[in-house]
Every structure is written in structure tokens, then in C-alpha cells.
Structure 1
Amino acid sequence: MQNERVPRALVGYHWGVTLLTLGSVLNVILMLVHLGSHPVEMAISNGLLAVFVVDYFVRLIITKERKTFLIQSAFDLLGIIPLHPVFAFFRLARLARLIRFHHVFWRLGLDGKWTKAYHRFIYQTGFIYLFSISVAIIVVSAFLFSLTEKQNLANSLWWAVTTATTVGYGDETPHTAFGKIIASVLMFGGIGFIGLLTSTITGFITNRTEKAVTPQDTQEQADVRELLAKIDTLTGKVDQLQEQVERLDRKSPKR
């Protein structure tokens, strides 16, 4: 697999995606720490958002396995949500897939255990599905809350996150009947999926810890059993030697 040649055009495309992703993340960081001109940074953010939106739907159209694409590109979809520029951080998952695609760890002489653990955690545990559903519930609730409560999208997203995580600071609360219905749905649905998400992460870490500890314990137990067997053998030889000494004492003439 590692020896397959990747077309230069595809390599160039991946380099472009990498640079745009890192640029979009850096731009968001500058916005969060209030460095530079905010209007310029917002224009850059919106421009990059448009590029990634077009890229996502073009890949969706040309792919033959749309179901697989939607699953594996769930973070890409989250990265083009226009609620807040901070969603650009989800685009970093694209870089992780590119690193795995080009076998970067293998080329650097690493064994690739990190990429296997990453793939196992994201897909085999169902984390990607629970995370996507949780984010979808939060985003949809924030959007509906923004419409009904006449709040901006940033404040609505903050309200949805604090409500779904049961923090509930109370700085943003629904006042309309429809807003309270949205909050109730978010409380039941969001909390349930976030609870499943947390248990999935905990279960994965626990299993990894058990697998890391069990071989060591097994080896220690084997060492103890081997040591006890050697002690038993040595004890038997000592007993035999003692019997031989006693026989020699009985046979030797008494003075």
C-alpha cells in the first residue's frame, strides 16, 4: 500500500487543503485573541468557508460511496457550519485523514499505532456518530432559538451548549413558548446523546488501560510461577542431599 504512487495533482490538491485548513484555523485564533482587523478576518473567514463548502459538495457529488463519504467526512460537514467561525477547528480532522492517507507516520519511521488507535476510537466505537448527532442537535436548537428569541447566532450557540451540558449559567434563557419547547427538546435529546458520548470516551480509555495493564500483570504472574517452580525444585534437591548425608552418616563406622 505504501508503495502506490499518488498522482501529483492529488498531492497538490491535498497540499492546498492543508494550507487552507491551517490558514482558517490561524485566522480564527487571531479573531479569538482580538489581533488584527476584525472586518478583514471575518472576510477571510467567510471566503474560506465558501471554499470549503464548495469543496465538500463537489466531493459529495463525484464520490461513488456517498454513505461512506458522509460518515468519514462528518467533521468536514461540521467545519462548514456558518453559526460561528470557531467551527473551523473541525477542519483539522481532514488533516488527520490526509496524514493517514499518505502514510506520513510510516514514512517517518513510526509504527502507525497512533493512526490505528485514532481510527478505532473515531469509527469502531461509534464516537463519530454520537458526536455528529450531538452537534447536530445543538446546532439546530441554537438556530431555532436564534429565530424565536431574536438572539444572534453566537449567543444562541452558547445557550445551546450550556443547556445541553447541564451547566445552565442562566445568562441566556427562552422567553417565548416555542423557545421553551426547543429548550425542552434540547434538554432531553442533547443530554442523552452527550451522556452516551461521555460513556463512549470513558469506555475506550478504560479498555485501552486494561489492555496496557493486563500483559504486564500476566508476565509478572508467569515470573512468580516460574520462581516458585525453581524454589520447589531446589527444595527437592536439598531434601535429596540431606537424605544422602544421613545415609553416609549411618554407614560410616562410629569411633
Structure 2
Amino acid sequence: MMDKKLKKITLIYHITIIFLALFSVLLVLCSLFHWLSIVTYPYNYIHNGGLIIFAIDYVIRFIYAHDKKHFLIENSFDLLGIIPMHPLFVFFRLGRVVRILRAHRIFVVLGIDGAFTGSIHKFIYSTGFIYLFSISVAILILSALLYSVVEKISLSNALWWAITTATTVGYGDIYPHTFIGKIIASILMIGGIGFIGLLTSTITDFFTFNKEAKENTVNQNELKELMSSIDQLSKKVDHLSDQVNRLTKQKKNTNHRNR
């Protein structure tokens, strides 16, 4: 009885989290299209309230997690989703939605689970993408925070500067004016570019490996078909050889009798 009640409470809680995650994403999208502003009343309270709820949810789950290291790895996107750095960070909350749906086997019911979702999970965790991505984001956020304080600009603009600098795009619309700001930029150029380079290399290697694996699979299938054809041909040759031998014996016997 208690198990059913607990499952029901968990289901209601998960549905609430999914609704809040989707609603927060929709709120930010509306703000991006200037249909509303999340910095004005009452949307600022709604936006900040959602941030607090997801932060509490993350902390509680972390406290009760048996394997803290595994939790941090599996829920890296959740941590990014509660960073009040930029409104677009709420899109990381969709990772929580995906895990809830997988836990309730919704993808299986919809028929979209299996090789596709398995490949995504393998790409994120098995290739080390999640580690490199988390480190890259941490470097960008830390650099943007320091740059914002030193150069006295908004966090959003500082984050934009950090991204354009680390990706070597460098539009030049924002650049350091102070000595400390130049030092931060230099560190970001060296460290950020290195990790983002590894990140893009990991993505490239994954798709290249998958392409080669598919080609090898195709070649193996072709080889199996060829071996099967050779085996069938060999059986036919053996059968034909047996028939020839029988005919030869019959001819010898016939000639012997005639003598």
C-alpha cells in the first residue's frame, strides 16, 4: 500500500518537474522574442521561483544520492540549468525531463527508445563529452564572472565575450580595457580554446568512429553473404562430384559385364 502511495507521489512530483521545466523554457523563449520580459513583474518572480525550485530539487537529490560522483556526472546538465548566469541556461533543464521520461519508459511506449537514445547516451557519457563540456562551461562561466567584475559590464555581455573569445570568433564588439581584463582574456584564450578544441575533436571522432563502424558492419555482412554463397557453391560442387563418381562407377560396371 505504501509502495503504491510512494509511486503515486513520485509520479505527481515528476509531472510537476516536467511542467516547470517546459514552462521555464517557454518563458525564456517568449522573452527572447520580446513577447514578454523576464526581468519585469510578475515574470521575474516566476523565473526566479523556478530557479529556486530546481536548485532545491538538485540539492535534495544530491544529498540522498548513494554515489555522489555518479550523480554529479549524470546530472551535469541539471547543475548547469540552475546557474543564474544567462536565461538560456534553462534549456539544460530539458535533460531532467528526458531522464524522467526514460525512467518511466515513456520512450519505449512511444517506440523511440533503443539504438537512437542509446547512441545519444553513449555519446554524452562514454566518450567523455560530458566531462569536457562541463569543464569548458565552467571555464567560460568563471572567466565571464571575473571579466564582468573587472570590466564592469553585465554578466550576459561578459558571457557573450567569453564564448566568442574561446571559440576564436572574436567579433571585437567587446574587448578588455584593463590590465587584469587582458590577463583574464589571455588565460581564457589558452585554457578555453584547448578544452573547446578537445570538445569538437571528441564530437568529430565519435561520428567518424560510428561511420567506420557502420562501414565495417556492412563489409562484415557482405563477407558473410559471400562466405555463405561459397559454402552453397561448394556443396553443389560436392554433390555434382558425387554424381560424376557414381556415373563413372556405373559405366565401369557396365563395361565389365559386357566383357
Query: TM-score, structure 2 length as denominator?
Result: 0.83
* Alpha-carbon separation, structure 2, partners of 1:77 and 1:110: 27
Counterparts in 2 of 1:126 and 1:37: CA distance versus 1, 3 Å? closer
Pairing of 1:74-89 with structure 2 (within 5 A): 74-89=76-91
Provide the residue aligned with 2:15 in structure 1: 15
Deviation at 1:41, TM superposition (A): 3.2
What one-letter code is carried by the residue in structure 1 that aligns with 2:79? L
Deviates more, 1:229-238 or 1:179-188: 229-238
Counterparts in 2 of 1:111 and 1:154: CA distance versus 1, 3 Å? closer
Counterparts in 2 of 1:12 and 1:203: CA distance versus 1, 3 Å? same
* Alpha-carbon separation, structure 1, partners of 2:113 and 2:45: 42
Provide the residue aligned with 1:184 in structure 2: 186
What one-letter code is carried by the residue in structure 2 that aligns with 1:168? G
**1:100, 1:115 within 8 Å by CA — same for their partners in 2?**
no
Tell me whether 1:167 sits opposite 2:174 in the alignment.
no
Instruction: Tell me the SS of whatever aligns to 1:7.
Output: helix
Cα offsets for 1:137-172 (capped at 9, x unmatched):
000000000000001111100000000101011110
Pairing of 1:196-235 with structure 2 (within 5 A): 196-227=198-229
What one-letter code is carried by the residue in structure 1 that aligns with 2:35? L
User: Identity rate of aligned residues, in percent?
Assistant: 49
Aligned residues: 245
* Alpha-carbon separation, structure 1, partners of 2:30 and 2:87: 11
What value does the CA root-mean-square deviation take over the aligned residues? 2.8
Deviation at 1:198, TM superposition (A): 0.9
What one-letter code is carried by the residue in structure 2 that aligns with 1:130? L
Counterparts in 2 of 1:70 and 1:228: CA distance versus 1, 3 Å? closer
Cα offsets for 1:177-221 (capped at 9, x unmatched):
111111111111111111111111111112222222222222223
**1:125, 1:204 within 8 Å by CA — same for their partners in 2?**
yes
Could you list the runs of 5+ residues in structure 2 that have no partner in the other structure? Answer: 252-259
* Alpha-carbon separation, structure 2, partners of 1:194 and 1:37: 32
Could you list the runs of 5+ residues in structure 1 that have no partner in the other structure? Answer: 249-255
Provide the residue aligned with 1:32 in structure 2: 32
* Alpha-carbon separation, structure 2, partners of 1:61 and 1:221: 53
* Alpha-carbon separation, structure 2, partners of 1:17 and 1:98: 9
Instruction: Tell me the SS of whatever aligns to 1:148.
Output: helix
Deviates more, 1:122-131 or 1:20-29: 122-131
Provide the residue aligned with 1:253 in structure 2: none
* Alpha-carbon separation, structure 2, partners of 1:112 and 1:226: 30
Provide the residue aligned with 1:47 in structure 2: 49
